[in-house]
């Protein structure tokens, strides 16, 4: 009989689950399938991946937090850890305690190897279960799913449907993997009945599968499609590659052309050419690729060509940590390109915002004829999170409003078209090249209202002022800072982008929520100076700025753009995201985790 110190429970409303193996052993597939099964049971889900920049080998993990309440992010403490190789246990010692269970893919386990280990360990040869069903050894990951389904008394039919969908293109593989799933479920049930494996409590099923489970890359792709994107070009670079792959697949279903360019310079220029011709266009990359795009970004600024650029941040500088996260490109994105030109920088937080702000980015670029940058990071672009289904109310109305600035043939009088006509709001009527009555003159030089290159002082100042005049209307359409939590807080956690998922998780704790508030910035440029100052005007709280870089770039931007000066920074810059448990301990008076830095 297995002597266990687990918290005995008949039901559980949440699970923190992780699988760890070598790259190439199906870790990501296993985590994705487990996350989908939890979502199908009506749970809120967050699925976070860690992996080295290797095709095979190294240590790779997938981590799923699923709960009846909102699962905003990953959690450090694990209820259940599956390791395909016993040696990987040592890599997770800080994530497990006496309430954790470790499932090792092995015939036996020697506890003397890890005398400091508090968690219970059971050894089961999952690979043998897969082979006994005639399946490929890679089906070990499906065996792990079957075993977990029994430990948590999950709906095996739901899990089975998820497996069938995964192997829909190969009926024989689907059949064999279903056999593996059932065999592992039965083996686990037998061990539980015999007392050799613990029952972890029935994972609850809300019966309401109403959420979508998307990665940030998928949410951005769908948001762009909802805004009528017609052309996407990119060169693969982690973590933005997922948008390229996702939209390439959507060519079967939507009128969109996706171009795998030879490099990032070509990618942005392809998109600029498409946008110049009247097509809604977008490109994307990470910091190193975006660095190659900045000259063309300036061209989009002076030529007033609508363009959306995704900048998926990973840990730099240079190649840095290619598969790990960061927010350290903020200063770079703020100043990317030479000369003065207006741009918008959107910084989505959760998956819903990745959809809505991608949609907004395309619409703003089209309406205001300027570059819009979506700045996200590896943490959210490659993680999966459940989110409500899209609200597409008034979609047609929004698209027609954006198109108001474009001219049809009947609106034109031959010889009178001014591509860069000075207007009160700075937005010039836009015709499409090829229209017989609207000659197009577009180049990288400063220009007059017709588009002819000029070096005249008067024309130069007028052109610069005309482009800058868009700001007054533009700022009315930008997303404003979001305030959540206590109305009279002792401390305020201020962040941008993905970190909102961590701070929201803290507010699930009633004790912390009573004295803590958060502010999220979904747009950092043009900076919402007035709105942020108004939110903080009557607050007598400590303000902590959380950001994933080593120099406090967001804090410096806030100080530059507002009258706020008494800011403290909590920084993380090791390629890993924040963990709410670490912040919770700090807010309760304990020492900040050694992987963070506090700047006062």
Q: According to the model, what pLDDT value does residue 392 have?
A: 67
Please answer whether residues 119 and 96 qualify as being in contact, where contact means their C-beta atoms are separated by less than 8 angstroms: yes
Strand partners, 523: 346
**Residues in contact with 146: Cβ distance below 8 Å, sequence separation at least 6, in sequence order:** 129, 156, 159, 180, 181, 182, 183, 184, 185, 187, 188
CA distance 596 to 573: 8
Please answer whether residues 240 and 234 qualify as being in contact, where contact means their C-beta atoms are separated by less than 8 angstroms: yes
Looking at the chain, the domain(s) classified CATH 3.40.50.920 span 482-599
58, containing H or E segment: strand 57-67
Does residue 35 surpass a pLDDT of 90?
yes
pLDDT in tens, 401-459: 445 567 777 788 877 899 999 999 999 999 988 888 888 889 999 999 999 999 999 99
pLDDT in tens, 112-170: 888 889 899 999 999 999 999 999 999 999 999 999 999 999 999 999 999 999 999 99
Q: For residue 26, give the DSSP letter.
A: S
Across residues 238-258, what is the average pLDDT? 97
pLDDT band at 5 (very low <50, low <70, confident <90, very high): very low
Q: According to the model, what pLDDT value does residue 324 have?
A: 97
Q: According to the model, what pLDDT value does residue 2 have?
A: 35
Looking at the chain, the domain(s) classified CATH 3.40.50.970 span 213-402
Of 400 and 171, the one with more pLDDT: 171
Quickly list DSSP for 98-150.
TT-EEEEESS---GGG-TT--SEEEEE-HHHHHHHTT--GGGHHHHHHHHHHH
Please answer whether residues 546 and 499 qualify as being in contact, where contact means their C-beta atoms are separated by less than 8 angstroms: yes
Q: According to the model, what pLDDT value does residue 114 have?
A: 86
Asked: is 213-402 a CATH 3.40.50.970 domain? The reply is yes
CA distance 380 to 193: 40
Phi then psi dihedrals of residue 33, to 5 deg: -70, -40
Q: According to the model, what pLDDT value does residue 111 have?
A: 86
Quickly list DSSP for 241-272.
HHHHHHHHHHTTTSS-EEEE-SSHHHHHHHHH
Across residues 553-571, what is the average pLDDT? 97
Phi-psi domain of 360 (left: phi exceeds 0; alpha: psi -120 through 50; beta: other): alpha
Does residue 554 surpass a pLDDT of 80?
yes
Q: What is the mean pLDDT of the chain?
A: 94
Does residue 393 surpass a pLDDT of 70?
no
Q: For residue 27, give the DSSP letter.
A: H
Looking at the chain, the domain(s) classified CATH 3.40.920.10 span 11-209
- Return the CATH fold of 482-599: Rossmann fold (3.40.50)
Distance set, CA 225 to CA 58, 253, 387, 400, 506 (Å): 36, 11, 18, 15, 33
Does residue 395 surpass a pLDDT of 90?
no
Quick one: how far is CA 387 from the chain centroid? 12
% of the chain at pLDDT higher than 70: 96
Please answer whether residues 304 and 370 qualify as being in contact, where contact means their C-beta atoms are separated by less than 8 angstroms: yes
Of 371, 363, 379, nearest to 295 by C-alpha is: 371
Q: Which CATH class is domain 11-209?
A: alpha beta
Please answer whether residues 379 and 498 qualify as being in contact, where contact means their C-beta atoms are separated by less than 8 angstroms: yes
Of 401 and 322, the one with more pLDDT: 322
Q: For residue 564, give the DSSP letter.
A: -
């Amino acid at each position: 009989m297995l002597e266990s110190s687990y918290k005995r429970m008949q039901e559980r409303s949440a699970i923190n689950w992780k699988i760890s193996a070598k790259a190439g052993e199906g870790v990501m597939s296993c985590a994705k399938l487990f996350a989908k099964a939890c979502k199908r049971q009506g749970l809120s889900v967050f699925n976070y991946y860690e992996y080295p920049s290797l095709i095979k080998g190294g240590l790779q993990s997938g981590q799923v937090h699923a709960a009846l309440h909102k699962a905003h992010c990953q959690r450090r403490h694990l209820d259940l850890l599956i390791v395909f190789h016993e040696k990987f246990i040592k890599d997770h010692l800080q994530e497990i305690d006496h309430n954790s269970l470790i499932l090792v893919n092995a015939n036996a386990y020697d506890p003397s190897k890890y005398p400091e280990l508090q968690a219970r360990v059971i050894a089961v040869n999952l690979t043998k279960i897969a082979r006994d069903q005639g399946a490929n050894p890679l089906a070990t990951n499906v065996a792990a799913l079957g075993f977990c389904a029994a430990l948590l008394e999950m709906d095996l039919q739901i899990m089975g449907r998820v497996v069938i969908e995964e192997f829909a293109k190969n009926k024989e593989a689907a059949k064999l993997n279903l056999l593996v799933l059932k065999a592992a479920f039965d083996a686990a049930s037998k061990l539980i009945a015999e007392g050799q494996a613990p029952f972890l409590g029935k994972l609850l099923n809300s019966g309401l599968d109403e959420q979508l489970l998307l990665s940030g890359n998928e949410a951005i792709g769908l948001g762009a499609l909802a805004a009528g994107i017609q052309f996407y070009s990119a060169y693969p670079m982690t973590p933005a590659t997922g948008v390229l792959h996702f939209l390439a697949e959507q060519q079967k279903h939507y009128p969109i052309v996706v171009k795998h360019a030879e490099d990032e310079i070509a990618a942005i220029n392809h998109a600029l050419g498409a946008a110049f011709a009247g097509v809604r266009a977008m490109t994307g990359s990470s910091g190193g690729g975006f660095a190659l795009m900045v000259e063309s970004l300036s061209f989009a600024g002076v030529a007033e060509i609508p363009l959306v650029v995704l900048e998926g941040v990973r840990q730099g500088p240079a190649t840095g940590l290619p598969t790990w996260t960061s927010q350290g490109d903020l200063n770079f994105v703020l100043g990317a390109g030479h000369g003065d030109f207006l741009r918008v920088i959107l910084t989505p937080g959760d998956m819903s915002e990745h959809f809505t702000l991608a949609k907004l980015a395309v619409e703003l670029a089209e309406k205001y004829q300027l570059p819009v940058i979506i700045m996200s990071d590896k943490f959210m672009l490659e993680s999966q999170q459940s989110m409500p289904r899209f609200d597409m109310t008034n979609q047609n109305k929004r698209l027609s409003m954006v198109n108001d600035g474009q001219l049809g043939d009947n609106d034109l009088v031959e010889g009178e078209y001014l591509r860069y006509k000075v207007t009160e709001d700075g937005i010039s009527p836009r015709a499409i090249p090829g229209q017989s009555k609207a000659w197009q003159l577009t180049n990288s030089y400063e220009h007059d209202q017709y588009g002819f290159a000029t070096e005249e002082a008067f024309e130069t100042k007028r052109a610069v002022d005309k482009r800058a005049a868009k700001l007054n209307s533009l700022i009315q359409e930008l997303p404003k800072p979001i305030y959540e939590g206590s109305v009279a807080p002792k401390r305020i956690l201020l962040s941008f982008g993905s970190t909102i998922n961590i701070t929201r998780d803290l507010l699930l704790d009633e004790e912390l929520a009573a004295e803590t508030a958060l502010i999220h910035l979904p747009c950092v440029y043009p900076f919402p100076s007035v709105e942020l100052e108004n939110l903080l005007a009557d607050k007598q709280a400590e303000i902590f700025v959380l950001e994933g870089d080593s120099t406090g770039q967001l804090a410096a931007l806030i100080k530059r753009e507002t009258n706020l000066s008494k800011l403290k920074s909590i920084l993380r810059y090791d390629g890993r995201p924040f963990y709410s448990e670490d912040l919770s301990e700090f807010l309760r008076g304990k020492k900040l985790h050694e992987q963070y830095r506090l700047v006062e």
